[in-house]
Structure 1
Amino acid sequence: MSFLHPFFLWLLLPLGLFTWLRFRQERRNSLPLHPRVILENRRTLLVRLAPFLALGWMVVALARPVTKEAITITAPTGGTLCLAIDASRSMMATDRKPNRFAFAKAATLNLVNRDSRHKYALIAFTTNALILSPPTEDKALIHAALEAFRPDYILTHGTSIEALLRYVGRLGGENKDLVIFSDGGDEEDLAKLAEVARKNHIRIFGVACGSRRGSTIPSESGWLRDKNGRLVVSTQNPILENLAEATGGAFIDESTPDAAADAILEQVDDQLKRQSARRTAYREWFWLPLLLGIGFFLAGTLSTAGLMRRLWPLLALLGIHAQAGLLDYYHLSKGIELYHKGAYEKAAKAFAKVDPPLLESRYGLGASLYKMGAYKKAGRVFASIKSSDPAVKAAIFYNLGNCAVKIGRFKSARDYYVKALQLTLDPDAKANLQKVLFLLEKRRSKVQPKANRHVKAATDGGSSAERKEKGAKKSDSQHRMGQGSGAQSATKSMRIGIQKGASQTTPRHPLSSKVYEMINKGYVHEERPW
């Protein structure tokens, strides 16, 4: 057995000295009393020692006695790598073959293909940053986003690493690893960039997409020239290398995309190995001396009848509060157990018994009502939960969106999913947003032809009496044609079957640039929880 905080044991020395002095003083001050008084006030040695023994055992409890169970070496998980590609004009230089941007694109694809332990977020940046893909393990999504991106469509010029760092800092997560594919871009203040990176807990791995000797930049009229007519030669800016070293990352300068991808993986794995920790599992025994201390305290203080009468009301009140806290914990744990077993109605009753309600109990109640099919009630419960934690708020908005979808309020669901994505990049919320956008577009396509038919009927159909007469004749003719053959009913059933099959095979609706704009303009930490 060992102690986690052994310095508390030094308190036993003054406690023992005080105990010895106290008993020595009592022995000196003993007076001859009447035998009846001695019998009524007689205390045993245990009762007299009990308060000091209680203090001694409580000091031992403060020292945290433990026994070793196991020793483990833990390594951090892969986490998320943010891949940022410079899309400025200088990335069209040809000192990396075929050009710097193509080099960065090929290195990114090789990195994603060879690594299966990380999630990846894809970002393009010039003077501003634009997210191409939120953190995901779907390699096909990264490929599609990178292939669809065209640097020719970027209207801004120049390169701002500071804007990129501030954008990455607003993304979720505590510690962030950022891989920057760039030629260094414009000159910037290294100390300021390092301070922004440290403030947002960003570690930078810089990949040199330009050579030290530099290269001219192609343009529509041949080669890019300055305002004096001289050729512009873009060289590697050393600020990227210095920034990587200042943030604890690494700088990679390789001439081929394959070698660059291998070097990135090697550096990232090396950083993870350095963060591995040796941990020892302990079993706590502090409760044992604590119980002994409480026992000696009760033995020394409750022996007097008057003190016993004074303490009973206090003990009763403590018992009531302890019972209430234990009951709340029991109902909460019971509700969680019933929810995982699929007994959602019983789980909802257990969560509702927690009074005053806790965040966990309200969340569990809303989830249970959702599983029961009471979507409106579940939505009201989720809407009543208040929190300032962005992760909790994102989960609440996500569940409110699910409830809105179930009751057919697709526009409200769209707004809830967008709010959830503004707080955290959740792939489930993004997938549900895609489905809601498709359903809204499908509803819009059904409403518009119906409105057109009403307008056409009002303009071409004549008077109401004529329309009724034509409708009656048409129904009679259809009735005569369908008698005995069943052709009309068969045709109708066939049409219904075809429509149902078509709706089932409709492709997923991709996110539009407007929705990306709605999501990207978020990522703010609200001062007020709701």
Structure 2
Amino acid sequence: MSFLSPIWLIVLLFIPLYLWSARRRRWHSNGWLLVAVAMLTLALACPVISQKPITVEQAGSDVILAVDLSYSMRGTDISPSRLEAAKKLLRSVVRSNPRERFGVIGFTTSAIVLSPLTKDTELLEHLFEGLDESQIITKGTHVMSALELARKMSHATQPLVILLTDGGDEASYTKEASFIREKGLAVSVVMLASSEGSTLPTPEGGSLKDDNGHIVVSARNDAIEEIIHEGRMIEGADIGAVRSLIEESRHEDFAGSSSVMRYQELFYFPLVMALVAFIAAFTSIGKKLSRALIPLAALIGLSAEGGVLDFGYLYLAKSNYEEGNYERSAQLYGSLASPYARYNQASALYKAGKYQEALALYRSLRSDDPAFKANIFYNIGNCHIRLQAFAEAREAFLKSLTLRYTKAADQNLRAIEGVKEQQTLSVRKEKKDQFAQEENKPTGESKPSKAGGGSNMQTDMASGGGGDEGKKAQSDPRLSMSQGKAKLSSRQYELINQRSVHETKPW
């Protein structure tokens, strides 16, 4: 059992005060009033029992966010800086559009994939937080490289591409505009610079200067409006305008499914008990019930403590999981003995980046339920992928598919087909052949918990993806998935900074 509105349980804290104020009165009246208040509080907290989740088919659009990472994005005419404003906008956009699938490109004089198309908003938020602009020294912008890479990321007919930039360096974008129309891209621009411009701070605390010793002032380049196609120009980090743009441009670029938890309402039980207790408080029925219930209450009290503690652990574990405190959630789930609690503990360890520990826990689970066992083998396969043990991952996915077919397990098996041990997966997605981003949240159970499968927990969706069909997995630098938080590798910063030496004119 769990509660949909647990905030009402705070009222129970006032019951000791009520007991103290009623200590000189007769128990049979005030005691039943106490029971009535407690039962009414429980009814308001909406107690429910989690039922078997149902699968809901969903569809959404591909949105590619291309972020200008050149040195000129350090300008402060957009507070606190152009790049910081871009990162804040990115976090808000991916958090408020759960239906879409987002891919992220970083570009300067070259472009690389920072994240393939995914619905894992938590991963994307960690990516934006971990982006260290101090390691980016490129002083130039090549928009065409970002557009070319965006077209390769998605097989959608017309994916939405949003460029977050100060306008770049070119006096004309005719070539880029022709490419956009030829390849069927819908392009919008978020202009993160002002007409007055800004100086560019240096790590030493001064301002960037050109070869002649003059202070560089970087202003917006309105020539980039030429590349806008089936989109618009958005001034500044206007989150509302970007959300509206995504909503208006929505297509069914991909399809997939997600699990939705169902609940059986129980509020009427405590409500009826509250009514009975209220009647007992003001009639002679209360005295008779009191004599009968006191021995029974003493007997029940001997076994109630464990169940109450279990509910507390489950509630705290789920709350910590939803807040992203995965290690704390794993500790709390570890205090319980049920196989579902150990499964949830393993899922929390997985999200915390502790793949070896999660793998050991998944392997220790035993069940006669084929669907549950299929989920266990699926997660074991995901752990092996994170640990780059692809042979073991293939074996686990085959076992999962033998027990129950799921699109996610099938996609993951295809994605690592032929990949050798210790080889990194390609960041480029392949059509119907990529590593699915679905990772199981804590599952529900019939005990007092809606542990992790609740409707208020976001569930990733394994779905068809974009990319170049037929390409083998390559060893291109990619987003590091073996850590608890997404951070760029030194090799990725090296690629961002290609052809950056000797460039001193970012404007």
The TM-score with structure 2 as length reference comes to: 0.42
Identify the structure with bigger relative contact order (alpha carbons < 8 Å, sequence gap 6+): 2
Larger fraction in helix: 1
